[in-house]
Amino acid sequence: MALRPYFTKMKFAHIWLKVLLMFLFLKKHQGTRLGNSSYETVSCEGCSQLTLKVEFSSAVVEHEYIVAFTGYYTAKARNKFISTALKSRGISDWKIVPRNNPASDYPSDFELIEIKTSQRDTVLTLEDHPNIKRVTPQRRVFRSLKFVESEMPAPCNETKWSQKWQSSRPLRRTSLSLSSGFWHATGRHSSRRLLKAIPRQVAQTLQADVLWQLGYTGSNVKVAVFDTGLSEKHPHFKNVKERTNWTNEKTLDDGLGHGTFVAGVIASMRECQGFAPDSELHIYRVFTNNQVSYTSWFLDAFNYAILKKIDVLNLSIGGPDFMDHPFVDKVWELTANNVIMVSAIGNDGPLYGTLNNPADQMDVIGVGGIDFEDNIARFSSRGMTTWELPGGYGRMKPDIVTYGSGVRGSGLKGGCRSLSGTSVASPVVAGAVTLLVSTVQKRELVNPASMKQALIASARRLPGVNMFEQGHGKLDLLRAFQILNSYKPQASLSPSYVDLTECPYMWPYCSQPIYYGGMPTIVNVTILNGMGVTGRIVDKPDWQPYLPHNGDNIEVAFSYSSVLWPWSGYLAISISVAKKASSWEGIAQGHIMVTVASPEENESKNGAEQFSTVKLPIKVKIIPTPPRSKRVLWDQYHNLRYPPGYFPRDNLRMKNDPLDWNGDHVHTNFRDMYQHLRSMGYFVEVLGAPFTCFDASQYGTLLLVDSEEEFFPEEISKLRRDVANGLSLVVFSDWYNTSVMRKVKFYDENTRQWWMPDTGGANIPALNDLLSVWSMSFSDGIYEGDFTMANHDMYYASGCSIAMFPEEGAVISQSLKDQGLEVLKQETSLVQNVPVLGMYQTPSEGGGRIVLYGDSNCLDDSHRQKDCFWLMDALLQYTSYGVMPPSLSHSENRQKPPSGEGITPPERLEGNHLHRYSKVLETHLGDPKPRPLPNCPHLSWAKPVPLNETAPSNLWKHQKLLSIDLDALALPSFRQNRPQVRPLSPGESSAWDIPGDHRMEELARESISLLGKSGLEGGTPSLSSMGAIFIMLKSALGAGLLNFPWAFNKVGGMHTAIMVELVSLIFLISGLVILGYASSLSKHSTYQGVVKDLCGPAIGKLCGICYIINLFMICVAFLRVVEDQLEKCSVRLYTLKQYLVCNE
């Protein structure tokens, strides 16, 4: 009993020791995290709302041109070629712009020149020289950083990386780092903020430590980082082979931190450890401290990377211009020289059709971002690619996704930082690729195609996410290691199967069944050729339908690359329904066989080829042809976008996103409208050819939304006949005003270069030519404002008005602001009775109906503020059935149709360059002149080779490359008690948490692995059951002491005792959570190990003393509980004995 007062004193001492320990630990840890960071850390006191904002501007540099040659030539030869070409034109006022960088000593395939002439045609005469391939303008990108007030408060104790993306779109290639943002992320809930605050060691999370333990650390692999440079004496890097500067600044150091961070994710050797710490780092400084870069800098740096035989290249930049020919061509050349390029897919999500170049190229590994809860990051760009529009269909991108939110990497001078963006996800994959290359014994088998094959074949699919968001899934480092070390050169396909019934992964293909008479469904498949940089498809692909699965009910046509270079090509598959199945409903299946040939790399086998045959399973759902009234045709052919021309935004308020570059497709920026129409029972098809190429009798309504292209005279004539025969037409227009177009041209003060729009938000003069046969036209007025129509709130965003409409039609007007006046004169004026909506029934018997609306922004996902899907429903009800909704027919805003008197019709902008990018206009000087009408696409259906086979029930399996069976592969057990890597079976969830050994090392050592590390998850926080049991046991013992009267008396009564115990428990739990947090930063999982590693030996000794005291307390408590229970038993036995004696 003498120990009781001593025990109480020791319990108070224990509490204060823990307080002191946590204070010292947090002080030490805070210093480690902040270091010399130039970024804002959010404090908990009110949560400061300062965030980092990044803005970009870009322009063509005046008078500077990149001259690309047909090969690599010396400086003297290049000068001679240019002199000869210009001399023939009598041009003498030119000079070569010097490029003082490491590549200047070597032959080059381009030259940068300055020509004072402003005549574009004169400059292009250079291309007449046989040794000159192309002449393109030099381009400049400028990036600015500043701190601004954040819109949303940051969670406390969390580093805030909020680069609000406000980018000027023209011609930019920008660094793709961004703030955290998640689409439907569970971490958004306040109750789960702690998970977002826990920093993750991404290399261990992806289990790189398993490969480290096997002895693979990236040695003998050259990895290049194209970014902002790296300081020479940074403590995190031990193998920086070369630092080169390609800018006009005389420094190699990183003045901003982005390049250091990227290099750290790949190859840091301490603290926030990278994937491949022993790799050879080659640092290419291509951005200045003022965030300026030029195309020519990249071209020179790329050439030097080829000379240095770089193995892996990370490019955390991107832009929408996939027609920047010098850049795109050089990327092809890089990969053709066996450089594995990894690039960020872009930060323009969640909008679809926002992929950045070069990540959207077939030969590049394009990387999207996820958070640590496996949600697609909101900022991560979505597919499809838009290169192929309007005639084809986009490819599947990104290739894979990985962690890109809250990832820790090296700080500018040391320590660790957290950053988000696809520019973070890109070096994660680049680091993983570097590590994987070092594991392969036969290094000659590693190339851009084989590496991509291994990554996509091993990727873990995320549930509930479609292929244009996640690609093939989440990076799986260990499975990729398994595949690479059993790899045989071969061809493969991406995607590896086509299942039009599998939702949501196969969206949008699975969103609409196919039927006879519909536009063919186009699936664009990428062919990856791991056998060689060049290849070809042998003969033709074979279509082999499964007769037991009704495969003969579909027809298939092919279009494919004549040459697979570099490492890849395309296979476009058009799928249609056979006539005999026009009234049939069911599932049809078959497969396509493709054989790829590639030259043998062994020189001794002259002319020999190697072959690889790939099977592509096909599965579709067929339904009877829907009624005409339910079929809607979307006009894609007359939509133009950037690149190549300057087609401005539809909403003039969006000054920071001036280009219309998302494709204007129903599966990109009109995705929500498409989904809505499908939910309402409409079948939406896409027309990628002129109006002369579709059978109007099959469709109820033709949709013209945001059209920028001109119309062939034959199209205008055919549409007039089609409407007279029952086809209805719905037109959603946008602004057009030549004065405003001149006002919104780009001007860069540094380069004094103008960019003039080629049309407005829509091509109103072309639309007026199309509508003139019905006495309809739009005006060049620009209006905006909020209003109510049919009890729905609407917003008119930079729309035009109806200038002329037939008297028999119905017109609805609204009161709107004159935005054109505001843009031109900065004056505000409210205009009454602006005609915005017109509905007209053509007079011919059985004729169709025509609807005009002056703004498409309410349908467009890009900058939509209020949707008008309800209006689209009402208009389609009118065009399909001739029934005008009462809410519109009886609208109080209905007015007399305008006659057009006194209104000057809009004219085309004088001197515009639309003919350069138009599919309709001839390229010539003078007035626009239409080209000859092109032939309609003609599909040659493949001859079927029927098979009497049974198709697999589930087409999605883990992709097997030839004889590689992932289920049979397992990592060697190099550590005792470490479980083997267990491959998933096809039906298992992709959330693949492999059970690890969570046992406590020793109870007496008080392991604090509350967020313990599993054997293979390598640092992924998870709840340790033993740790939880330990907390409950300790709490129960402490609380149990309060059940005894002596405890109340010793501490001053029951109330005081409860308060003391509650305070003790708060300190106990807080300490465990903080130390659990700390354990994810270090390589230790015990109380002493974490503290000693992060706080130093002195604090570690204090920790040891604390644990001895704590152990002593537990022992005393345990003995006291046992003593008390024995006393109670003795009393009960004595009472029972007395009772029995009395009864006797």
- Same domain, yes or no, for 559 and 662? no
- Same domain, yes or no, for 364 and 253? yes
- Same domain, yes or no, for 433 and 315? yes
Q: How far apart are CA 778 and CA 835, in angstroms?
A: 10
What are the residue ranges of helices labelled H in 706-850?
A: 713-724, 738-743, 764-771, 819-825
What DSSP assignment string belongs to 138-174? EEEEEEEEEEEE-SSPPPTT-B----EEEE--TT--E
Query: Average pLDDT in the 98-114 region?
Result: 89
Tokens of 1132: 């009960």
Q: How far apart are CA 755 and CA 744, in angstroms?
A: 9
The domain boundary residue, chosen from 590, 625, 660: 625
Cβ neighbors of 881 (< 8 A, separation 6 or more) are 629
- Same domain, yes or no, for 645 and 566? no
Judge whether 188 lies within some domain: no
Query: Average pLDDT in the 881-909 region?
Result: 90
Confidence band of 1072 (pLDDT split at 50, 70, 90): low
pLDDT confidence of residue 164 = 31
| pTM for the structure as a whole | 0.76
Query: Average pLDDT in the 723-727 region?
Result: 97
Chain segment 1110-1124, per-residue pLDDT in tens: 666 666 666 666 676
pLDDT confidence of residue 889 = 87
Query: Average pLDDT in the 881-908 region?
Result: 90
What are the residue ranges of helices labelled H in 725-808?
A: 738-743, 764-771
pLDDT confidence of residue 150 = 35
For residue 703, give the nearest of 777, 778, 634, 776 by alpha carbon: 634
Cβ pair 183, 377 in contact under 8 A: yes
For residue 35, the one-letter residue type is: G
CA distances from 106 to 72, 265, 567 (A): 9, 32, 27
Chain segment 782-801, per-residue pLDDT in tens: 999 999 999 999 999 999 99
Q: E strands within 194-236?
A: 222-227
Judge whether 426 lies within some domain: yes
- Same domain, yes or no, for 471 and 542? no
Sign of CA dihedral 695, 698, 701, 706: negative
Tell how strand 701-705 and strand 728-732 pair up: parallel
Q: How far apart are CA 121 and CA 138, in angstroms?
A: 16
pLDDT confidence of residue 1136 = 66
Confidence band of 645 (pLDDT split at 50, 70, 90): confident
The domain boundary residue, chosen from 468, 486, 504: 486
Average pLDDT, the chain: 80
Burial 905-933 (b: 16+ CB within 10 A, else e): bbebbeebebbebbbbbeeeeeebeeeee
Full domain range(s) for residue 559: 488-625
Burial 879-894 (b: 16+ CB within 10 A, else e): bbeeebbeebeebebe
Taking the mean position of all CA atoms in its chain, how far away is CA 1001?
Answer: 42
Cβ neighbors of 861 (< 8 A, separation 6 or more) are 351, 352, 669, 670, 671, 672, 673
Sign of CA dihedral 230, 232, 237, 243: positive
Q: How far apart are CA 304 and CA 99, in angstroms?
A: 13
Sign of CA dihedral 1106, 1107, 1110, 1116: negative
Least confident window among 156-170, 235-249, 896-910, 1118-1132: 156-170
Given a cut of 70, is residue 967 above it in pLDDT?
Answer: no
Q: Cα angle at 698 between 500 and 671, to 5 degrees? A: 45
pLDDT confidence of residue 137 = 83
Residue 746, strand partner residues:
755
pLDDT confidence of residue 128 = 84
- Same domain, yes or no, for 476 and 601? no
Cβ pair 707, 763 in contact under 8 A: yes
Percent of the chain at pLDDT exceeding 90: 56
For residue 862, the one-letter residue type is: S
Peptide bond into 495 cis (omega under 30): yes
Please confirm, yes or no, whether 423 is among the known catalytic residues. yes
Cβ pair 726, 850 in contact under 8 A: no
- Same domain, yes or no, for 776 and 832? yes
Taking the mean position of all CA atoms in its chain, how far away is CA 741?
Answer: 32
Residue 583: burial class (beta carbons within 10 Å; 0-12, 13-18, 19+):
exposed
Judge whether 1107 lies within some domain: yes
Sign of CA dihedral 1046, 1052, 1053, 1056: negative
Confidence band of 651 (pLDDT split at 50, 70, 90): confident
Judge whether 198 lies within some domain: no
Given a cut of 60, is residue 299 above it in pLDDT?
Answer: yes
CA distances from 1116 to 5, 886, 1043, 1130 (A): 11, 84, 15, 21
For residue 589, give the nearest of 632, 546, 558 by alpha carbon: 546
Given a cut of 80, is residue 185 above it in pLDDT?
Answer: no
Least confident window among 440-449, 893-902, 993-1002, 1066-1075: 993-1002
Q: Residue 333 is part of a domain; what is its CATH number?
A: 3.40.50.200
Cβ pair 581, 587 in contact under 8 A: no
Judge whether 662 lies within some domain: yes
Q: How far apart are CA 523 and CA 510, in angstroms?
A: 12
CA distances from 820 to 294, 781, 827, 831 (A): 35, 7, 9, 12
Q: How far apart are CA 598 and CA 474, in angstroms?
A: 30
Chain segment 844-879, per-residue pLDDT in tens: 999 999 999 999 999 999 889 999 999 999 999 999
Tokens of 962: 């030839």
Query: Average pLDDT in the 750-778 region?
Result: 85
> Could you say which of 63, 258, 549, 667 is catalytic?
258
Chain segment 1087-1097, per-residue pLDDT in tens: 556 665 656 66
Please confirm, yes or no, whether 258 is among the known catalytic residues. yes
Number of domains composing the chain: 5
Tell how strand 521-529 and strand 491-494 pair up: antiparallel
Chain segment 341-398, per-residue pLDDT in tens: 999 999 988 999 999 999 999 999 999 999 999 999 999 999 999 988 898 999 999 9
> Could you say which of 227, 734, 818, 855 is catalytic?
227
Chain segment 989-1042, per-residue pLDDT in tens: 333 332 333 332 232 223 332 233 333 333 333 334 444 444 444 444 444 444
The domain boundary residue, chosen from 419, 451, 486: 486
- Same domain, yes or no, for 259 and 397? yes
Judge whether 1029 lies within some domain: no
For residue 277, give the nearest of 321, 212, 363 by alpha carbon: 212
Confidence band of 694 (pLDDT split at 50, 70, 90): very high
Taking the mean position of all CA atoms in its chain, how far away is CA 372?
Answer: 16
Given a cut of 90, is residue 11 above it in pLDDT?
Answer: no
Q: E strands within 74-155?
A: 94-96, 108-115, 132-149
Tell how strand 810-818 and strand 783-789 pair up: antiparallel
Helix (H, G, I), strand (E, B) or coil at 772: helix
Chain segment 455-512, per-residue pLDDT in tens: 999 999 999 999 999 999 999 999 999 999 999 999 999 999 999 999 999 999 999 9
- Same domain, yes or no, for 504 and 424? no
Given a cut of 60, is residue 942 above it in pLDDT?
Answer: yes
Chain segment 527-560, per-residue pLDDT in tens: 999 999 999 999 999 999 999 999 999 999 999 9
pLDDT confidence of residue 685 = 98
Confidence band of 1104 (pLDDT split at 50, 70, 90): low
pLDDT confidence of residue 648 = 82
Q: What are phi and psi of 421, to 5 degrees?
A: 135, 165
Helix (H, G, I), strand (E, B) or coil at 216: coil
Q: How far apart are CA 25 and CA 639, in angstroms?
A: 60
Query: What radius of gyration, in Å, describes the C-alpha atoms of the chain?
Result: 34
- Same domain, yes or no, for 698 and 655? yes
Q: How far apart are CA 1008 and CA 1025, in angstroms?
A: 11
Confidence band of 186 (pLDDT split at 50, 70, 90): very low
Given a cut of 50, is residue 182 above it in pLDDT?
Answer: no
Task: Look at the block and give the residue holding tokens 């066996």.
Answer: 338
Q: Residue 503 is part of a domain; what is its CATH number?
A: 2.60.40
Judge whether 961 lies within some domain: no
Task: Look at the block and give the residue holding tokens 């003045």.
Answer: 255
What are the residue ranges of helices labelled H in 549-696?
A: 671-679
Chain segment 19-47, per-residue pLDDT in tens: 444 444 444 444 333 233 333 333 333 33
- Same domain, yes or no, for 591 and 720? no
Q: How far apart are CA 844 and CA 847, in angstroms?
A: 5
Tell me how many helices (H) and strands (E) the chain has.
25, 42
Judge whether 812 lies within some domain: yes
> Could you say which of 423, 492, 777, 801 is catalytic?
423
- Same domain, yes or no, for 695 and 763? yes
